[in-house]
Amino acid sequence: MPALLSIDYLLIAVCTWLAIGLAGLLAPRNMHFISKVLFPLGALVGLGVGITALCFLGDRAETAVLVIGLPTLPFHLRLDNLTAVFALLLGFASVGISVYAAGYFRSGEGTAPGALCLEYHIFLASMLMVLLADDAYAFMVAWESMALSSFLLVTTDHRHEAIRRAGYLYLLIAHIGAISILLAFGVMTSGSGDYTFAGMRTQELSPFWASVAYLLALVGFGAKAGLVPVHVWLPEAHPAAPSPVSAMMSGVMLKTAIYGLLRVSFDLVGTPLWWWGVVAMAVGLVTALFGVLYSTVQSDMKRLLAYSSIENIGLLAVGIGLALVFHSYKMEALAALAMTAVLYHCLAHAGFKSLLFLCTGSVLHATNERSLGKLGGLIHRMPWVAWLALLGVIASAGLPPLSGFVSEWLLLQAFLFSPGLPHSWLNMVVPVAAAVVALVAAMAGFAMVKFYGIIFLGQMREPNLTHAHDAGPWERAGLVWLAALTLLLGVLPSTVIGLIDAATQQMLGTGLADKVREHGWAMLAPISPDRASYQPLVFLATILAALWVGRWLVHRFYHGRVRRSDPWDCGYFFQGPRGQDTADGFSQPIRRIFEPMFRMERHFPTIRDEKPYYSVKVEDHFWYWLYLPAARLVERISGLVIRVQGGRIAVYLLYSFLTLILLLLVARP
Amino acid sequence: MSISGLLGQLFAIVLALVLAPLLTGWVNQCRAWLQSRSAPPLLQPYYMLHKLFRKDVVLAHNASSVFRTAPFVIFGCMLLACAIIPSLSTDLPFAPAADTLALVGVFGLARIFISLAAMDIGTAFGSLGGRREMLIGFLAEPALLMVIFTLAMISQSTSVATIVETLAHREVVIYPSLAFAGIAFTFVSLAENARVPVDNPATHLELTMIHEAMILEYSGRHLALIEWAASLKLYAYSCLGLALFFPWGIAAGDSILGLAGAIPLLLMKLAIGGALLALIETVNAKMRIFRAPEFLGTAFMLAVLGLLVRLLLETRV
């Protein structure tokens, strides 16, 4: 018997996940069996996937052909380094999320636990299959299973009207995207009928058709990832889904779309044109700015995070665009820099965004409240969740020494090289785009301070919050795992780049690893230390030293006395929880400065109001500019179609008869 | 990394710790003179620090661990910034730890912590201050990054030491982009250090305050650390400005002679810079908070202009 290849291990993982899911149906109402046995088993499989991918990185690609599929087109599978990086992400992120889910799901209304377990593990297995697929058919089958299983997970609490609507919107946009992807694959076969990816690689597309395929792929994968203007499902579906599902969708599923985009534009479609990168960059910048602006004004904690995910996807698109531009001019070393930033950000975002979504889950369980305006002061009741969330918040704000900063730093470094582009105006416009990236990064800090400060700090805004409890041991373990990943990705950038470099090399023919390895594991210097360098461990050490040594010195030379009293607040006497900023109050400066960017409905109280109240509702312009007109158009067209569809069977029979005669006339031999 | 380099690094840190309150005292003194008040003693900030360290910490009942951790983290961030920015010599063993982009990150981290600490007690002034600080922060950061981009494109590096060495030893060529970047940097520094016209360091109990509103609840050693960190931030920004735009006199090696020569020059430059800061604060009035976006928007536009000038004009020569 031949030794098992890595791809075999991954296939075993897919089957095990499916088996675990089916096992859930054996005892669909036995919560203890499902949460304390099946979900931890799923986490163990995830760990196996992660470790397999980790061991594989840098090896030669492996392929496999399954006997299932179409008669002429069995499932082709392939494990290469790009797949491995994303499988690594999927495996390690799913460990934390599954362990957390073991403590999170409670029996209640909505989907039965057994069905939930099945959907969840099909979701995991189909995401791994998307990464492994090596022909268009297998890819689309896996892609659709992923969309359907996640749709079912989103609508877990399907008794609520709003959640059903959110799920419907998600399914609709997922299918618009899927059609677009299917068309992109169709164009890439260029009529040869060979639907394997290996066949697509050998096709020589004309620049026009290559561009069509690329743009279709951008729309299709963009719809899944949440690029503007097909982002609208994200802020609806994420709050609707249970928190582990939101974490999985935001942390992992969005990355499969990024994987698809990378696969098409750097592997399947051939040599890119320079303006492809500009398109991706422009869309990415708009998405990032839009996402961060809207995330700052949200008052629902999960919507805030959903918009923040849109922002991060935008940054990823900017990085992909930059890599495409460099790649099209054959500046592979610089393309590798941008590509490393993209891959790194994928990993970083999977860690910190899953962490933050899970933290909102714990808050939700403890308080039954999603609205920021009714939370506050939870650090006193939930210290574990609060301190772990702080790590996620710092990483999400893109600050050293955690993971989000490394990728942003690499991206900005890549931007600094863009004046070297041999194009007359591109080399001037692109550096200015870096200014937008800087603005986005800084505003992400604002959104994160709002998120953290309003939920965990301050006074409790509602009296029932005093009963909040900290996360249980399973939930805590899941959070600690993800926080540890965030920290490791933050302080060991050189090691991680050494690992993921195999994917960059596969796509671009060159990587950063050699240069990075020269300077040891503690220092990140992608070009040379004279040019730019970063040592996150020094950051961490200095801050910890200031904390411990500083404390010790102050206590040694002075004292450590503490007295408790009421807050001072300039001597103002009435200090109820209503005196603090609300979620809307906190973002008032943003609404005021960027007023044209929002569609706002506000009510201000007047002096004569008997019961004065203030309300603000911020909505997305795209609903009114794009979606409602589109919906109206569809309705009008259906109205016209109704005239033909009278509802009388005789008329329908006449139609069939006429069609038959027409076909006979046309198809006459 | 040599022993003398390490000693030089240690000396730079100690110098920052000692000089930072002195700089604050000097600015206060100059401002008092310009406003024809009788000036406080030059060493007043030290007296205050000593007094605050001796006093008890009075904590609000609902102060959390974030509130008690924040002063130390902020102090650590500022100390790290001072250790990275070359004041006397560019030969700093700590310098590779962070380039200019990471330096912006260090300031960002400190800002997040002080804003969170401000929101921790849950008073009206605290959250108001925290929100305004983050507002100023996200307006100032892109402008600062654009300034850094301009300088990085001139010197082909984002490392502070390399930028300083390139600029200090260049031929006498005037870069117009540097002028734009310099003005933008001044604007940003004023905003970041809570100075007039964006904030007023002398204010207290005012609805317009930003920095003071955030630290209202701090007392004792915590307040001392925050005040010291604020001084260190002013010192760090001054040294950064001097290093980027007036780098002459910063020693390249770690020879004792070079260092000895650099100290008086640094003191002189800081004295002039402090006096100019006092002058700016005296001739300007504090602006409304919603004028701050215009002010920092101007800084951003100037920085972008500097970048474009660099890309359009100077690379063609």
Across the range B48-62, mean pLDDT stands at: 92
Parent domain of A81 = 1-207+219-232
Contact A158, A59 (CB under 8 A): no
Asked if B58 lies within 8 A of A564 by C-beta distance, the reply is yes
Asked if A310 and A290 touch (Cβ cutoff 8 Å), the reply is: yes
A169 plus A278 within the same structural domain: no
If asked whether residues A282 and A174 sit together in one domain, one would say no
Q: Does a structural domain hold residue A668?
A: no
Indicate whether A95 pLDDT > 90: yes
ipTM exceeding cut-off 0.90 for this assembly: yes
Length of chain B: 317
Query: What's the rounded mean pLDDT across residues B217-240?
Result: 94
| Residue A578 and residue A529 in contact, taking contact as beta carbons nearer than 8 Å | no
B residues 274-293 closer than 8 Å to A (CB): 289-290, 293
Among A559, A592, A626, give the residue marking a domain's end: A559
Percent of chain B exceeding pLDDT 70 equals 95
Structural domain contains residue A16: yes
Indicate yes or no: CB of A550 within 8 angstroms of CB of B75: yes
How distant is the Cα of B272 from the closest Cα of chain A, in angstroms? 31
For the four alpha carbons of A404, A351, A83 and A307, in that order, the dihedral sign comes to negative
- What phi and psi, each to the nearest 5 degrees, are found at residue A69? 125, -160
pLDDT in tens, A388-403: 999 999 999 999 889 9
* Of residues A575 and A564, more confidently modeled: A564
Q: Give yes or no for a contact between A78 and A61, defined as CB atoms under 8 angstroms apart.
A: yes
Residue range of the domain that includes B166: 3-314
Instruction: Based on the fold, state whether residues A175 and A276 are members of the same structural domain.
Output: no
Would residue A629 count as lying in a domain? no
How far apart are alpha carbons A570 and B216 in whole angstroms? 7
Q: Residues 226..285 of B with a Cβ closer than 8 Å to A: which?
A: none
One domain, residues A469 and A341: yes
Average pLDDT, chain A: 90
Counting the structural domains of chain A, the total is: 2
- Touching check for A391 and chain B: CB below 8 Å? no
The Cα–Cα gap between A639 and A158 comes to 30
Q: Are residue A284 and residue A200 in the same domain, yes or no?
A: no
Same domain assignment for residues A224 and A285: no
Read off the amino acid at residue A252: V
User: A223 with A276, same domain?
Assistant: no
CB A79 within 8 A of CB A132: yes
Question: Collapsing DSSP states into helix, strand and coil, what is residue B60?
Answer: strand
Range of A532-541, A587-596, B74-83 with top mean pLDDT: B74-83
Task: Answer yes or no: do A192 and A100 share one domain.
Answer: yes
H or E, element range at A274 = helix A274-297
Is it the case that residue B200 has pLDDT exceeding 90? no
Same structural domain, A195 and A275:
no
Question: B222 CB near a chain A CB, below 8 Å?
Answer: no
Say yes or no to pLDDT of A298 above 70: yes
Secondary structure (H, E, C), B226-260:
HHHHHHHHHHHHHHHHHHHHCCCCCECCCCHHHHH
| Calpha distance A594→A621 (Å, rounded) | 13
| Residues B286-300: tens digit of each pLDDT | 888 888 889 999 999
pLDDT average, residue stretch A530-543: 87
A chain contacts of residue B156, beta-carbon cutoff 8 Å? 531
CB–CB of A564 and B59 under 8 A? yes
Q: How far is CA A454 from CA A303, A600, B83, B190, B233, in A?
A: 14, 22, 34, 29, 27
Residue A110 lies in a domain: yes
**Residue B270 to chain A, least CA–CA distance (Å):** 26
Higher pLDDT, B110 or A528: B110
Residues from chain A contacting residue B311 (CB–CB below 8 Å): 419, 427-428, 431
Helix (H, G, I), strand (E, B) or coil at A107: coil
CA distance A425 to A482: 43
Q: Are the CB atoms for B181 and B303 separated by under 8 Å?
A: yes
A134 in any annotated domain: yes
Q: What span, in angstroms and rounded, lies between the C-alpha atoms of B308 and A432? A: 8
Q: Is the pLDDT of residue A437 over 70?
A: yes
72-131 of B, contacting A, C-beta below 8 A: 72-73, 75-77, 79-80, 83, 94, 96-99, 101-102, 105-106, 108-109, 111-112, 115-116, 119-128, 130-131
Whether A480 has a pLDDT exceeding 60, the answer reads yes
Last residue of a domain, one of A559, A587, A620: A559
Residues A354 and A303 reside in one and the same domain: yes
Q: Who's near A595: CB < 8 A, 6+ residues apart?
A: none
Whether residue B162 and residue A575 make contact (CB cut-off 8 A), yes or no, is: no
For residues A459 and A542, membership in a common domain is answered with yes
With beta carbons less than 8 A apart as the criterion, state whether A408 and A445 touch.
no
Residue B192, chain A, CB below 8 Å: the answer is: no
Closest CA to A561 of B205, B221, B263: B221
Tell me whether residues A570 and B138 touch, CB distance under 8 A.
no
Report the pLDDT value the prediction gives residue B254, as an integer from 0 to 100.
61
What is the number of domains present in chain B? 1
